[in-house]
Amino acid sequence: MTSFETLELTSVDAHVLLVRLNRPEVSNAFNTQMAWDLINLFEGLALQPDNTRVVVVTGAGEKAFCAGGDLKERNGMSDAAWQAQHLIYERMVRAVIACPLPTIGAINGAAYGGGCELAAAFDFIYASDSARFAQTEVRIGIIPGAGGTQTLARAVGERRAKELILSGRVFSAQEAYDWGLANAVCSAQSLLETALEMAKTIAGNAPIAVRQAKQAIHKGLQMGLMDGLAFEIEAYNRTIPTQDRREGVLAFNERRNPVFKGK
C-alpha cells in the first residue's frame, strides 16, 4: 500500500480503505502536501482501485476532522503564490468528487472552511455528535473556493447555504443532519464503526453496479429529467454484460450469497 506523509491508510478488510487525515497537531488542517497526498490517493484510486471498493475518510485525533486551509503556511504568501496553491486545492476536491468509488466521510470533530467543503464533497457523511461545521472564508476576506458554494448548496438548499456561507456561522452535527448534509449523527464511540459497517455493506454489492449507480445519480442530477433518464439507461446497460450480473441472478436462484468479482 502506498504511504503518504499526511495521510494514514488502513485496509479494514479486502475491499474497504480507511483514510485518516493525519496532521492532528494542527487540527488536520490542509497544507500543500496534504492536498497533493489527497490528489495522488483519489486520482490513483480512479485509475487503479485494485481491490478497494469503498473509501472511508476521517480525521486523526479526537479534536477535529479538518480545520480547513493551514493559515500559518499561507501567512505572507504573495497573490501569485496563493493562487498557485489554490489550484492544487481545486484539483484535490475535483479528484474526490470525480472518484468512481463510493466515498463516506466519518466527521469526528470540527470541519471548518476547506474541511466542511471536503465533507460536502463525499458521497455522504456520518457525523459525531461533537462535530461542528462552518464555512468561515468570508471572515478572512475570501469565499469557499474548493466547491463549498456548489456542494453545500446542493446538500442543504440555496437559501440555507447562503445563510451559512454569508454569515460564516458554526452549525452543529444535528443541524447538519436536519438540513441534509449529514446522513446520521452518531456518538463519538460508534461513529467509525457505523461508517465502516455501511462501507462493508456497499463493498459486498456488485462493484460495477455500485459505480454505475453512483455516476447515474451524480451526473443525472445535473441534467434535465429526460437527459437523466437517458444517462441512467447508458449506465444500466454497462452492467448487463458483466459476470457479476450473471452471478447475482444465479446466486438468487440458488438461494446463496453472491460472490462478486467486479467483472
* Residues 57, 162 share a domain: yes
128 confidence band (pLDDT: 50, 70, 90) = very high
Tell whether the model's pLDDT for residue 205 goes beyond 70.
yes
Output the nine-digit C-alpha cell for 228: 437523466
* Lowest-pLDDT range of 91-105, 191-205, 244-258: 244-258
* Residues 158, 217 share a domain: no
Output the nine-digit C-alpha cell for 250: 444465479
For residue 187, being part of any structural domain is answered with: yes
Q: List, for residues 85-104, the tens digit of each pLDDT value.
A: 889 999 999 999 999 999 99
What average pLDDT does the segment 209-237 reach? 94
For residue 218, being part of any structural domain is answered with: yes
CATH number for 136: 3.90.226.10
Q: Average pLDDT, whole number, for the chain?
A: 93
What average pLDDT does the segment 248-263 reach? 91
Tell whether the model's pLDDT for residue 77 goes beyond 80.
no
* Residues 239, 149 share a domain: no
* Residues 154, 49 share a domain: yes
Tell whether the model's pLDDT for residue 121 goes beyond 90.
yes
Please tell me the predicted confidence (pLDDT) of residue 67. 92
Q: How far apart are CA 212 and CA 188, in angstroms?
A: 32
* Residues 237, 127 share a domain: no
Please tell me the predicted confidence (pLDDT) of residue 13. 87
What average pLDDT does the segment 152-179 reach? 96
Output the nine-digit C-alpha cell for 47: 485509475
For residue 106, being part of any structural domain is answered with: yes
CATH number for 248: 1.10.12.10
Residues 6+ apart with CB under 8 A from 144: 113, 117, 135, 137, 152, 165
Q: Are 192 and 16 in contact (CB under 8 A)?
A: no
For residue 259, being part of any structural domain is answered with: no
* Residues 197, 149 share a domain: yes
What average pLDDT does the segment 139-153 reach? 92
Choose one of 163, 187, 203: the last residue of a domain.
Answer: 203
**What DSSP character marks residue 103?**
E
Q: How far apart are CA 64 and CA 210, in angstroms?
A: 30
Q: Are 27 and 110 in contact (CB under 8 A)?
A: yes
| Alpha helix segments (H runs only) across the chain | 32-47, 71-74, 79-98, 114-121, 148-156, 158-167, 173-179, 191-203, 207-220, 225-237, 243-253
Q: List, for residues 35-69, the tens digit of each pLDDT value.
A: 999 999 999 999 998 899 999 999 999 889 999 88
- Domain membership of residue 99 as a residue range: 7-203
Q: How far apart are CA 239 and CA 246, in angstroms?
A: 10
* Residues 171, 244 share a domain: no
* Residues 246, 161 share a domain: no
For residue 41, being part of any structural domain is answered with: yes
Amino acid, single-letter form, for residue 200: K
Please tell me the predicted confidence (pLDDT) of residue 157. 96
* Residues 176, 216 share a domain: no
How many distinct structural domains can be found in the chain?
A: 2
* Residues 225, 197 share a domain: no
Residues 6+ apart with CB under 8 A from 99: 42, 45, 46, 55
User: 205: how many CB neighbours lie within 10 A of its CB?
Assistant: 17
For residue 2, being part of any structural domain is answered with: no
Tell whether the model's pLDDT for residue 174 goes beyond 80.
yes
Please tell me the predicted confidence (pLDDT) of residue 1. 66
Q: How far apart are CA 126 and CA 141, in angstroms?
A: 30
Tell whether the model's pLDDT for residue 200 goes beyond 80.
yes
* Backbone φ and ψ of 64, nearest 5°: -150, 150
- What is the percent of the chain where pLDDT is above 70? 100
What average pLDDT does the segment 113-135 reach? 96
For residue 263, being part of any structural domain is answered with: no
pTM: predicted TM-score of the whole model, two decimal places: 0.93
Please tell me the predicted confidence (pLDDT) of residue 66. 95
Choose one of 186, 203, 220: the last residue of a domain.
Answer: 203
